[in-house]
Structure 1
Amino acid sequence: MSSILHAVRAALLICWGVSISWLAGATGLKPDSTIVQLSASDGQAQMAVTNTEALPMLMNVVVMDLPGSESLTVMPLPSVARVEGNGRQIVRFVLTESAPDIKKQYLKRVSFEGIPPKTSGPKEAVLAVNVRQIIPLVISPPGLVQEAEPWTQLAIVRKSESAMELRNDSPFVVRLRTQAELLPMNTPVQLLVDTYVLPGEHIAFELPRDVMASAVTAVRISPASPWGYSVNPYEIHVAGNETR
């Protein structure tokens, strides 16, 4: 983002009275969907945001990089806008450069923050609790058809008797809960640190002390669909010993 855009954003925030006195309560900005899907062939996507409160809000939209996505820049337009009470605002997400050569999906996050205006009440400052809605933004390469159940392409192998590895050799981002369940013993395990597995990622995880990898036949995960809703748990059967 250019220095001019940064200056405009700062001026808008200052004029709205962000730094001094805010209205107590929730911000009330609600995106229409829980995920932004952006195809590189289109170069842009859009999301409608509703202000569910009666008062106007200043909407501040920020696109945040995740590891591996820094080479692609997505600009939210507008990044700062006034949304009237019970009003709606369309936000476009635009790739600043074409990306015809990418072969896999990339993951970023989008923060929608609503900032209430200053009030003309008592002189003492009142801090508001600004609620940020943070949702994923997935960038897909040209020609890639979204797999409806990308978690079925995950694999799990044994690394040792105390460790296993989750592998995503597909071109798709897979989102899931960080906790999983080892089968057949139904033992919980910390599978991930983050709630996603990027294309090409191989993530090792440690087993509980009382569980040996040779006894684990499958791992039950709780994935999320590419369109943001929860689905039934899925069992990944262990592929075998690590040979590489």
Structure 2
Amino acid sequence: MNEFFITGTDTDAGKTHITSLLLKLLAQHKKRAIGFKPIASGCEMAFDQLVNADALMLMESATVSAKYDIVNPFSFEPAIAPHIAAQKAGVNLNVEKLTLAYQNIKSQGADYLLTEGAGGWALPINENQYLYDWVSAEQLPVILVVGMKLGCINHALLTTAHMQSMGVNCIGWIANQVDAAMDEYQANLDSLKARLPMPLLAISPYTEQTPKLQIYKTLLKALSINN
């Protein structure tokens, strides 16, 4: 199974948007792919359970079906930091529980499993564990989504430096143009390409129409997709 973890430079970098596009790309190449959103806050009641719009988008983009609670095992109603939401709900989030949930999604028969994080890279899951502890324990290759806006260079470099300090394998980054009016967009993109140690995999241009992904050969190689 090909497994990847998609993280972002911050909460609104566009992780769901990019993960959905990657799942659709895999579908175009006839791959059996599924998305996993282990932790989600900001959920609403539907069909007698809490559901999250991001998790539903991943389910719609996947080519392998699974029950909602398999795709999103930990869902919380308030749109606040997940570890705080979990405390308020009386749920003890930890690495071990995430691992058990991951085994459930891995058993669904997909060839590709894309896990979308929550928030940015340094997301607490309890008082002394972070979501990156689980990513490191699973030895998942990481794709970094850079939300292209003012401050993105700092956020991307700090996130990358922390991953390197942990020995995490960040295989590449994707530029997501979240700000249509960003000043010096191309100059910022060029600065990131010059400074980040991993390759640019794709660019998602800002659009109010059907989202598209400008794909580089580095992405096809990273995903083990033949041209």
Q: Answer whether TM exceeds 0.5 for this pair.
A: no
- The structure with the greater share of residues assigned to strand is 1
TM-score when normalising by structure 1: 0.25
Greater C-alpha Rg: 1
If asked which structure has higher relative contact order (CA below 8 Å, sep 6+), I would say 2
- The structure with the greater share of residues assigned to helix is 2
